[in-house]
């Protein structure tokens, strides 16, 4: 069992972050084609704007300015969608069991923007499910010309 509040994923170890579309393209061209196809499916755009950045009056589009193309190169790429917004259309129930636990996040650098926690006790043989909409910006690809 994975107890509620346990860190189950962090972007601080095995996730690649690209600040430009060109960097991401160079990375894709540097790896074998079959792996590049997988990376294309696993990649997402996420904003890492912290409170100091969000409160800076000189930054106009705060989400865009702190956005990165990200790809998880570890077990995080195997987490599936379990958010009500993108999974269980017939109910208001959130089925994600991994996500932001604000109390647990206080103990880790990057808080919930860079770490995901067990939202409840997760039993053995139970799949890790997260809500992609909690971190991925679907329209963010255009910010990178992709």
- The mean predicted confidence, pLDDT, of the chain is 83
How many Cβ atoms from other residues are within 10 Å of residue 85's Cβ? 13
Instruction: Provide the residue count of the chain.
Output: 146
Average pLDDT over residues 114-140: 89
- pLDDT greater than 50 at residue 88: no
- pLDDT greater than 70 at residue 63: no
pLDDT at 55: 58
Q: Please give the Cα distance from 143 to 128 (Å, whole number).
A: 30
Average pLDDT over residues 14-37: 94
In this structure, of 31-35, 44-48, 53-57, the range with the lowest mean pLDDT score is: 53-57
Residue in the structure block whose two tokens are 């755009």: 45
- pLDDT greater than 70 at residue 112: yes
Sign of the alpha-carbon torsion through 28, 135, 13, 94: negative
């Amino acid at each position: 069992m994975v107890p509620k509040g346990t860190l189950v994923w962090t972007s601080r170890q095995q996730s690649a972050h690209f600040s430009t579309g060109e960097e991401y393209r160079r990375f894709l061209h540097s790896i074998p084609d079959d792996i590049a196809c997988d990376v294309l499916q696993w990649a997402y755009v996420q904003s890492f704007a912290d409170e100091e950045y969000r409160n800076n009056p000189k930054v106009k589009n705060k989400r865009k300015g702190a956005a990165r193309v990200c790809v998880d190169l570890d077990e995080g790429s195997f987490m599936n969608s379990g958010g009500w917004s993108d999974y269980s259309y017939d109910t208001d129930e959130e089925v994600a069991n991994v996500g932001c636990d604000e109390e647990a996040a206080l103990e880790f650098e990057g808080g919930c923007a860079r770490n995901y926690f067990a939202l409840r006790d997760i039993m053995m043989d139970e799949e890790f499910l997260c809500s992609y909409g909690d971190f991925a910006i679907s329209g963010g690809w255009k910010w990178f010309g992709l």
